[in-house]
Amino acid sequence: MSFSFFIARRYHISSTKFNTVRLISHFASFVVAVAVCAFFVIQSVFSGLHDFGLSYSSSIDPDLKIKSVDSFSFVVADTIIAKLEQVKGVAVAAPFFSQEAILRFEQQHKLVTLLGVDSRYDQLFGISDRIAVGRMVSYRGEELLLGYGTTIDLGAGLYDYDGFIECLLPKQGSISPLDPSPFVSIWATNVGVFQISEEVDYNYAFAPLPFVWSLTKTAANTYTAVDVNLEKNAKNDAVKEEIQQIFGSEFEVIEKEALNPALYRMLQTERIAIYLILSLVLTIALFNVVGAIVMMVLDKRNQLQTLLGMGSSVNEIRQIFFYQGLLLSGVGAFFGLVVGVGIVVAQSFSEFILVPGTQLPYPVAFSLENLSALLLIWGALSVLSAWIASAVVRPQLLH
């Protein structure tokens, strides 16, 4: 233990003759504790809101999406899909065919994105778990699974065999003026109602793959994309590279962040802004440490003159108050972090704080990244504030 740190520790645990100086020191540690606690809790809440928001905004966004570079749709053999599923790190792969179509029920019309899927798509996103009434579409049959919003807009019922839903798609190529209808039309039955998110509920509908192939007059094994979800600890870059080798240069493998770049860019900007604001709050809190150290220097002036006379250098005396600043900040940060972690963990398990006006608990996420960022920012600012405070010790003050 160095001489300067030994004296700083003695100053920290001993009382002073001025009660005001002691109160200022304790208050400085308390303010740092509050700032550190607030920093960690707010960052954990933001992380929770970030995950909560993405769970809805990207409800049907996979970890990886495979699309053709040059064409809207492509033909892929079942053997290629089977080979894709055997790639190390791939959990589920689900090809699908997406096509905008018009749904008509009685006098109501609605434009939706019709997704032709099979059972693998249900495994990928767990659509069956989001169905409020009814069931998932089967692989064969003329069936539709509508979102809650689409069901309301059309006024369609469930298993209504007296009122089928008509799926309409404009015919391709030149149309004869004698043709009574410019649309390809197929009737289907609504077998369920799902609730995922407002965007999906009002704009998407699911149907069996053969049904969509028949509606669009396309061949079997024709898809517009293949969605892939990865295993928990999979190496994204390695899996992506192997998939690219399987499909070749005519296809592109897109990561989840690239599917909605504006959203992820906005969230990243918000994250940086919150870090900057909380860092400013922590900086202001550490100014109290600077003030407390300055008051302590004035309080210990006579003792410092004695130390100088005994042979201590000015730099050693400065180090005393540098360490003293770190101790004040460190004690406050320790207790603040303990309280902050306790609040986050308690909210994660007991969910005792609810969003006002709802029964939803405030989402929080304990993250080592947030903890590391807090310790790094606090450490840098603490060293800076202690250095500024110790700079008050000058030869003129000690003589």
Sequence-ordered list of residues with C-beta below 8 angstroms from that of 198, at least 6 positions apart, any chain: 149
Boundary-marking domain end, from 211, 230, 258: 258
9, 340 contact by CB (below 8 A): no
Rounded-to-integer distance, Cα 355 and Cα 347, Å: 12
Last residue of a domain, one of 258, 277, 294: 258
Quick check: helix, strand or coil at residue 369?
A: helix
- Same domain? 53 vs 74: no
> Is residue 171 domain-shared with residue 294, that is, in the same domain?
no
Q: Which helix (H) or strand (E) holds 207?
A: strand 204-208
Residues 12 and 158 in one domain: no
Q: Residue 338 is part of which domain span?
A: 3-57+263-398
Q: Strand 143-147 and strand 165-170: pairing?
A: unpaired
End-to-end CA distance of the chain: 28
Could you read off the pLDDT tens digit of each residue along the chain, which spans 399 residues? Answer: 565 555 556 655 564 555 677 788 888 889 999 999 999 999 988 888 877 766 666 667 888 999 999 899 999 988 999 999 899 989 999 999 999 999 998 888 999 999 999 989 998 888 898 898 889 998 888 899 999 999 999 988 777 666 789 898 887 765 556 556 677 888 999 999 998 888 888 999 999 999 999 999 899 899 999 999 988 888 888 899 999 999 988 999 998 877 777 777 888 888 889 889 989 999 999 888 888 887 877 767 666 666 666 666 667 777 777 888 888 888 899 999 999 999 988 888 887 777 776 677 778 888 888 899 999 999 999 989 888 888 777 666 555
SS (H, E, C) 269-333: HHHHHHHHHHHHHHHHHHHHHHHHHHHHHHHCHHHHHHHHHCCCCHHHHHHHHHHHHHHHHHHHH
Does 117 share its domain with 72? Answer: yes
- Same domain? For 127 and 225 the reply is yes
* Residues 238 and 108 reside in one and the same domain: yes
Count helices and strands (H / E) in the chain: 14, 12
How far apart CA 118 and CA 101 sit, in angstroms, is: 19
Q: Is residue 312 located within the same domain as residue 348?
A: yes
* Contact by Cβ (8 Å): 299, 321: no
Last-in-domain residue among 220, 238, 258: 258
Shared domain for 252 and 367, answered yes or no, is: no
Q: Is the dihedral of CA 58, 59, 62, 65 positive or negative?
A: negative
- Residue reference for tokens 């693998």: 120
Q: Give the per-residue pLDDT at 322.
A: 82
Query: Can you give the pLDDT at residue 173?
Result: 61
DSSP string, 118-131: -HHHHHHH-GGGGE
Q: For residues 75 and 388, what is the distance between their CA atoms, to the nearest angstrom?
A: 68
Number of domains making up the chain: 2
Q: At what angle do helices 3-13 and 314-350 cross, to 10 degrees?
A: 60
Handedness of CA 49, 50, 55, 60 (dihedral sign): positive
Cα–Cα dist 2/4, whole Å: 6
Same-domain check for residues 361 and 339: yes
Beta bridge partners of 184: 169
Regarding whether 374 and 269 lie in a shared domain, the answer is yes
The model's pTM: 0.68
Do 194 and 98 fall within a single domain? yes
Amino acid identity of residue 277, one-letter, is: I
pLDDT for res 339: 94
| Cβ atoms 298, 387 nearer than 8 A | no
Cα gap 17→15, rounded to integer Å: 7
Same domain, 358 and 314: yes
Residue 376 tokens, joined: 């790094």
